[in-house]
């Protein structure tokens, strides 16, 4: 994988390994401290698939995630510093964020005011623009994978690139993956995935930030999938009576079934609900 060797020496020589702080597919995230400086990092320990088993991540998937992370450098995208490898695991040394998941931030407040929601979505869009300008789709955007830099910060970082893919016109990528309530119709229908697949998820995240409700979530995965492919959602007055038409227009432009007609990340960044408000005043 682009000639990138992983360090084979013991991680423990350089880092003191602390507590588990999270977990995901075949991975555990631990807080680690660089012994020489005392600087803290997050270490993602990914279990390697052995032999013909199904447990653990395939090396080609691990290499893809590392290659994607190494090609990104943006204030709203988690940074990868170095990689270690043992016989059982690959260990990613990552920037540590301590503000918790955006999901928890919403849960504490039930939902956010439009200004706070617009500010969060704006940051997510700038991080996502960096991915999309590099033809990388995240493909697992959800509040749990958007973290706050620290407890007092409104700064966010996109994490968890385990499903991320390089998108090209030449290669047709299809997969049923991601978390049901956030996936786009083309994922449900096993059709070609693209950068636009992330934009649908931005619409779902925006809807949740503003209302605390999930637009397509049904009583079963089957019902959720049906709601997505049928675009069966509404701006229920119970949750949206005080939401601006501009915010609803922003969401409507993302809940478009045809990926080619869906708003792009640049369309969203330039949308009046996101564009810095002072510019709006100048335009009036």
Ligand X SMILES: COc1cc(-c2ccc3ncc(-c4cccc([C@@H](O)NCCN(C)C)c4)n3n2)ccc1O
* Residues at the interface with ligand X (CB under 6 A): 21-24, 29, 42, 44, 69, 78, 94, 96-97, 101, 144-145, 147, 159-162
Q: 21 vs 119, which CB is nearer to ligand X?
A: 21
Mapping DSSP to helix (H, G, I), strand (E, B) and coil, where does residue 189 land? coil
- Distance set, CA 231 to CA 66, 148, 225, 260 (Å): 35, 31, 10, 16
Give the DSSP H/E element, type plus range, for residue 177: none
Q: Which of 140, 160, 198, 266 is catalytic?
A: 140
User: Residue 267 catalytic?
Assistant: no
Q: Which residues pair with 142 in a beta bridge?
A: none
- Distance set, CA 30 to CA 21, 40, 91, 146, 251 (Å): 5, 10, 10, 17, 36
Least distance in Å: CB of 144 to ligand X?
A: 4
Q: 137 vs 256, which CB is nearer to ligand X?
A: 137
Exposed/middle/buried for residue 238 (C-beta within 10 Å: 0-12, 13-18, 19+): exposed
In the complex, residue closest to ligand X by CB: 22
Mapping DSSP to helix (H, G, I), strand (E, B) and coil, where does residue 156 land? strand
Least distance in Å: CB of 114 to ligand X?
A: 26
SS (H, E, C) 3-23: CCCCECCCHHHHEEEEEEEEE
Q: 2 vs 282, which CB is nearer to ligand X?
A: 2
Q: 131 vs 251, which CB is nearer to ligand X?
A: 131
Q: 18 vs 24, which CB is nearer to ligand X?
A: 24
Q: Which residues pair with 23 in a beta bridge?
A: 28
CA distance 164 to 147: 17
Q: 68 vs 256, which CB is nearer to ligand X?
A: 68
Residues 6+ apart with CB under 8 A from 186: 192, 193, 194, 197, 259
CA distance 69 to 38: 24
Q: How far is C-alpha 152 from the chain's CA centre?
A: 21
> Which positions are annotated as active-site residues?
140
């Amino acid at each position: 994988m682009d000639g990138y060797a992983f360090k084979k020496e013991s991680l423990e020589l350089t880092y003191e390994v602390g507590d588990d702080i999270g977990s995901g597919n075949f991975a555990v995230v631990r807080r680690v401290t660089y012994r020489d400086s005392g600087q803290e990092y997050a270490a993602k320990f990914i279990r390697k698939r052995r032999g013909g088993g199904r447990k653990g991540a395939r090396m080609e998937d691990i290499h893809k995630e590392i290659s994607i992370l190494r090609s990104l450098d943006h204030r709203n995208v988690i940074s990868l510093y170095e990689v270690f490898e043992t016989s059982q695991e690959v260990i990613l040394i990552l920037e540590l964020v301590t503000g918790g998941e955006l999901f928890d931030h919403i849960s504490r407040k039930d939902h956010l005011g439009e200004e706070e929601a617009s500010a969060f979505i704006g940051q997510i869009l700038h991080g996502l623009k960096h991915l999309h300008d590099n033809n990388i789709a995240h493909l697992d955007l959800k509040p749990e994978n958007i973290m706050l830099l620290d407890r007092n910060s409104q700064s966010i970082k996109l994490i968890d690139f385990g499903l991320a893919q390089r998108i090209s016109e030449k290669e047709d990528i299809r997969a049923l993956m991601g978390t049901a309530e956030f996936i786009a119709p083309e994922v449900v229908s096993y059709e070609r995935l693209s950068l636009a697949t992330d934009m649908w998820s931005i619409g779902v995240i925006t809807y949740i930030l503003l209302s605390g409700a999930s637009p397509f979530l049904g009583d079963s995965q089957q019902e959720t999938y049906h709601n997505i492919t049928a675009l069966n959602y509404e701006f229920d007055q119970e949750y949206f009576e005080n939401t601006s038409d501009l915010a609803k227009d922003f969401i409507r432009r993302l809940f478009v079934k045809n990926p080619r007609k869906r708003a792009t990340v640049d369309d969203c960044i330039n949308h009046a609900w996101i564009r810095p408000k002072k510019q709006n005043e100048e335009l009036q």
